[in-house]
Structure 1
Amino acid sequence: MVGPIGVRLKDIQEALAALQGVVHATPLDRSRTFSAMAGCDAYLKLENMQKTGSFKIRGAYNKIRTLNAAERAHGVIAASAGNHAQGVASAASMAGAKATIVMPEAAPLAKIIATRGYGAEVVLSGTVYDEAYERALELQQAGGQTFIHAFNDNAVIAGQGTVGLEILRELEDVSSIVVPVGGGGLISGIALAVKETAPHVKVYGVQAQGAPAMYMSKRSHALKTVPDAVTMADGIAVKVPGDLTFAIIDKYVDDIFVIDDEAIASTILMLLERAKLMVEGAGAVSLAALLHGKVPAQGKVVSVISGGNIDVNMISRIIERGLVKAGRRVKISTMVVDRPGALHRLLSVIAALRANVIHIYHDRVERNVPIGQSIVEVGLETRDTLHTEEILSTLRKEGYNVEVL
């Protein structure tokens, strides 16, 4: 059963006024590249360029600004996979309140360091957000701090909804808005703001396929949970969505879709390469859904890029994987005669084809290598799949038995 809605359009409008000078009114950019790919006018609402690197400071500040002096003196506590942590830490610092943040043990190091950099105490507990949340509740009961929920709080929802008002202000003829969904704080605020102001505008949500709780809830019109939330998009890896957010989503959101991690990763790489934007997994799901045909693509479509706090190690893995998928990195294995000049001949063929050798392994004593021969494994940087096929074909014509590893 869906509960009552505790947020009004007036609350979001008041939050927008309170946030003036505190947060950035982030850019709303039309992307010619992504418009051509999606078959619509594709716009990006760049909350990855927000203070603290995500939209989360909007809701956190709007909640903390309502606390009285005694509540601020007792401090605040929150649970977060990273972005809410930085938003709460920054907002608490502005308010002169001590912040304690409980984060999952696997939270990206960059987010942990950034949260501490804003002056918060960080406690690592649990493997996912929901376990960190339970630990934060235990600490809150013992310490008496005000709990700042990541999404299931009316003041937080109102703060996040200011993103929707900014979009309507900058793009009056917007057709639809596509929003990442974890616990539902961002999309519930945006949907309420948009539907109460311009009800003809469609609002679509996107979840990671490995964490589809709100997708399931929307489909059944009843709050659902999932046993696990496994996705590279750690910012939306939520097993238990909010009941306050769900009430708004069930009424105002037109539909919710899911997208797999492969599509998310490829979109992160495209944003980095084509748009020169650093975006985290949760921030990329909206555009990923648009580019992969998961959401309707008609008229002017805004993808909310919700955050850019991605770990550099994750970026490295995504780039490497993306280059392999695009045929721009390949690892091959072959045999050469074990005598001087044989390796040079192989590499000369590769060099003539303008491929770049990035690593090489040469061994003549491996168990399965015949006496008088050597095995050679070569990692190559190529232009594309066609270039890779040309290299393989040429090597085979030259007498090499080549295997792609």
Structure 2
Amino acid sequence: MSNVTIKHLNASDANFSQQLKDLLAWDESDDLDIQQRVLAILADVRSNGDAAVINYTNRFDHRAIADASELELPKATLQAAWENLPAEQAHALQTAADRVRTYAEHQKIASWQYEEADGTVLGQKITPLDSVGLYVPGGKAAYPSSVLMNAIPAKVAGVGELIMVVPTPNGETNELVLAAAYIAGVDRAFSIGGAQAVAALAYGTATIPAVAKIVGPGNIYVATAKKLVFGQVGIDMIAGPSEILVICDGKTNPDWIAMDLFSQAEHDENAQAILISDDGDFLAAVEQSIHTLLPTMERADIIRASLSTRGALIKVDNLDVATDVANVIAPEHLELSVADPEALCAKIRHAGAIFMGRYTAEALGDYCAGPNHVLPTSSTARFSSPLGVYDFQKRTSLINCSAAGADSLGKIASVLARGESLTAHARSAEYRIK
């Protein structure tokens, strides 16, 4: 047997709200030791540029770089990785890239303006970011899908220069990652990682250009560095562990649902997989499937730890209650494995991505459905959205006053400015009153 113990909750219990709160609690308390180490690396790179980056890269990634020119991966290397991929992998990568690009094209925001009766024109100008840095984890945990999801929306937005950083421990590169960078349109790539790569992108060095925004996942050092350079540059988000919430009416194959829960639990021990159903027998059937299927999984130990510490099976009286619970959880991934997913979807207010119907496995969204897989975690879907083209575009307000507009608006501004005792504001507006 799989010896996994998964929590059982019932939404009708008097203390359910507290139980749910305890289940969702994620204490990623700032590790002051890590913060101090990252601050030291940031300061060193800011002061010493390439020399500091080379020092940390040689130390942490076991490299032997002597000159900063060795840090860059030539475009020809990316192209060769793409051209040498096995046909099946190349086809899968290209298909995924095409689908992500097609979806992203629909997200572009356009500039707009309107004219008022007196001839004053107001509007909004949309401009892509000049440059973006894309952090890609290296080594064994290499994710070409992350390259596509972060790079393609940036290029669709019109970002001028997209710079990828990817660590190459012991000088080892991941060919799929390099191939993904090539077809996604990455402009330059550097074989660096960790907090030092974030610092280089934020502050710039003689070799590595400073960027306007840094996106992409990384370990605790990378996440801490992104948090600390925010303000100097933009960042996408601070992501917590992966999450899946499945709402099922009891009519889907329990093995499917068990494997959907595994698909997120296998990320790491802190990932969270939760199933809600109004059918108690179905919850028991899925639990049995978990026990049966777990021994067949490569990452069984990670899945077991995740399900035992943060997983749950939640019984509700009906699916309306399930949507109420889902809105409290505000999950990263939400599967509506029910007969009428549209009806249920109408009641969901907070979720990073919603996978509708019995056939829509969350894993399809991770790779090739089209919508972005960079999603808000830890209930932040209450106020934030998936990564998209709009994250790589800026909005600028436009105001063009006619003489008549300056006259009428000037009178209003004058009254408000004098009310705030800002006389120069008032007089600046008053000069233009007829």
Question: Which bracket does the TM-score occupy, shorter chain normalised?
Answer: under 0.3
Structure with the greater relative contact order (CA < 8 A, sep ≥ 6): 1 or 2?
A: 2
TM-score (norm 1): 0.25
